[in-house]
Structure 1
Amino acid sequence: MKVSELARQAEVTAETVRHYTREGLLHPVRDPDNGYQLYDHADLERLRFIQRARTLGFSVAEISDILAHADQGDSPCPMVRDLLASRLPQIRARIRELEALAARMEQALTAWAEMPDGTPDGHSLCRLIESFPDASHPTCGHIAKETRS
């Protein structure tokens, strides 16, 4: 099957198929008559595997390693478990960071609800942002609020 047919069957774009081919994750054969890349059912299954691995957060490089193990007849499962086990604490930390960011954004929107818009005047670029406390300098935010009030 051609790129477009593989993409349709896997429910991805043709560019996705081309990308994974360039990355060496898919191995089509060339049609000697027209030079088209031709994929078979094994490529479709491999592409579906790649998509499932991507939904679990694996990078293209990690998927390449997983596939290389499998292609050599070795079980990639221990490596997969180790990768996820090491990644999960990072993901949980990132979620906490994003929740804190969302809380700061909500705080800012609440604080800014009644503030007038300002025009840059050489001393101020955006009063909304400048009025918000600087996380790295906790006292700066209070000074900025006092001088602008």
Structure 2
Amino acid sequence: MIQYTIHEVAGLLNISTDAIRLYEKEGLVSPTRNPENGYRCYDTEQIHRIMGVCLYRKLNVSIAEIKRLLAVSTLGDLSESFSGFIDSRKKEIERLTLEVEKMSYMKQHLDTLDEGSRTISIRTLPAVYPLYHQDSAFLGYRTLKDVFHSPLFSMGNFSYILSVEPSGSCQVSAFQFAIREPMLALTQLNSTNLPSRDSCRCLYTVVAFPTEQEILWDLSAVLKYAGEHQLSCKLEAYAFYVFSIAQPDVILDYYEVYLPLEDS
């Protein structure tokens, strides 16, 4: 019977000797030892087992799962195991697809932050679904524990509802955590059972404040733009926290601000 050394097997199968030693340590292969020098020896059966292990590893089957597969003695049981692998990977694909959609939505916001911080424009605010609401500006983290723990936390935004004076100065009338329409579609929530604010055309801009600084909301520039363009605005605005960026000496919190327009 032809015997092969560990280096020969590694060269034949294009894998490392460390991988082969790991398979031996995990009980997946059992080489014999050369009685003269103690070196590992692999026969055809052991090489076939290593080939099978390599195939499974290329499919990202875990060592523990491979152990169970190598113990299977019928084609039916093997097929059932593969059905389980397929189901778990479909769930992983769904999870990753959802992550990509979340990241794409976040990137969309990031791409507009720089432009929005330098301009005022007309945009549509999608329908908003508040999941948490309080009629004060106080940001008490203890009261927000359920929001932080919710699987929906990565889907929404904290936002302030602002009462806007004709001068442009603002007071916070409410604080909320809400999901906007594009992200709601990625959840299992039924929009018909949720409180909501309908989508509306708004004046849009982006503002940034240092995290440690008290926010003094001032939309005078937005109202000036409205006046210059003969636009009539409502006196309630929405400021959605979007992102924080660390500068060398300060952390800036970025907000998207929407000031609804009166229906024309």
- When the two structures are superposed, what TM-score results if normalisation uses the length of structure 2? 0.41
Unaligned runs of 5+ in 1: 115-133
The answer for the alignment partner of 1:65 in structure 2 is 68
The corresponding residue for 1:95 is: 96
Aligned partner of residue 139 in structure 1, secondary structure: strand
Q: Which amino acid aligns with 1:50?
A: V
Aligned-residue offset at 1:110:
2.7
For residues 54 and 106 of structure 2, the distance between their equivalents in structure 1, rounded to whole angstroms, comes to 33
Determine the structure 1 residue equivalent to 2:254: 145
Q: Which residue of 1 aligns with 2:47?
A: 44
1:61 positional shift? 0.7
Structure having the higher helix fraction is: 1
CA distance in 2, matches of 1:65, 1:35: 30
59-68 vs 102-111, which moves further: 102-111
Pairwise CA distance, 1:18: 0.8
Partners in 2 of 1:14 and 1:136 — Cα distance?
46
User: Which residue of 135, 139, 148 maps to 2:154?
Assistant: 135
Cα deviation, 1:17-70, whole Å, max 9, x if unaligned, reads 111111111110111111111111222221121121122231111111111224
Structural mapping, 1:12-91, within 5 Å:
12-70=15-73, 74-75=74-75, 76-91=77-92
| Residue deviations 1:126-147 (CA, integer Å, cap 9, x gap) | xxxxxxxx8366116834324x
Decide whether aligned partners of structure 1 residues 98 and 135 sit closer, same or farther in structure 2, where only a CA change above 3 A counts.
Answer: closer
The structure whose residues are more often strand, as a share, is 2
CA contact (8 A) 1:9 1:44 kept: no
- Are residues 10 and 102 of structure 1, via their aligned partners in 2, closer, same or farther at CA, if it must alter by over 3 Å? farther
Question: TM-score, normalised on structure 1?
Answer: 0.67
- Mapped to 2, the partners of 1:19 and 1:136 lie a distance apart of 42
| Number of matched pairs | 126
> CA distance change for structure 1 residues 48 and 106 in 2, over 3 Å: closer, same or farther?
farther
- What's the % identity of the aligned pairs? 23
**Structure 2 letter corresponding to 1:145:** Y
Change (3 A) 1:108 1:51: farther
Structure 1: 4+ residue segments shifted above 6 A: none
Per-residue CA deviation, residues 88-120 of structure 1 (Å, 9 max, x unaligned), is: 332222331342355256436635777xxxxxx
Letter in 2 for 1:46: R
Whether the aligned pair in 2 keeps the contact of 1:50 and 1:63 (CA below 8 Å) is yes
Does residue 6 (structure 1) correspond to residue 9 (structure 2)? The answer is yes
Structure with the larger RCO, 1 or 2 (CA within 8 Å, 6+ apart): 2
